Amino acid sequence: MVKNMGIEQSLFEYICHSVENTPFYQLVGIRLSALGVGQAEFKLIASHQHTNPMGLLHGGVLMSLADAAMGNAIRSMGIRGVTADCSTAFVAAASIQGELLAQGKVVKAGKRLVYTRAEVYCDGKIVADAKGTFANIGTIDLDETR
């Protein structure tokens, strides 16, 4: 169950539906857990399928989870955005049996660019810190999606 932390109900339902039907999220196991104005939380249960050749959790999993949280934090404001730049600092190793939680937020939304941050936690411990710049490509038209 996704928690609505104060966004308009029709936008909330639209985002929840689109996230549930995103093939990449389904493939990796990324799940939306909460949405608020300018913020989003995503979870993923790490497993062996998320490892790199060394048997460690692949950094791309953490980056993808952070990108999902940042991108959907933007969408929670009714903005359509695409990643223009993203950087991730890996702070600590994440367990391949742990629950990952990414908390994304909008730092500043401009007419052309939107600046975001995300932190990724594994079992409550921070494992990655990300920042992203997204191109603002317009507003979400809920009438167009029906």
Residue 78's pLDDT is 97
Residue 95's pLDDT is 84
**pTM (predicted TM-score):** 0.95
Residue 25's pLDDT is 98
Q: Does domain 3-139 have CATH number 3.10.129.10?
A: yes
In terms of DSSP bridges, do strands 31-36 and 3-5 run parallel, antiparallel, or are they unpaired? parallel
Distance CA 142, CA 146 (A): 7
Rg (CA), the chain: 15
Written as one letter, the residue type at 31 is R
pLDDT, averaged per 10 consecutive residues of the chain (146 residues), comes to 97 97 97 99 96 91 98 98 98 91 98 98 96 98 74
Distance CA 45, CA 33 (A): 12
Helix (H) or strand (E) holding 43: strand 39-45
Written as one letter, the residue type at 59 is G
- Residue spans of the domains in the chain: they are 3-139
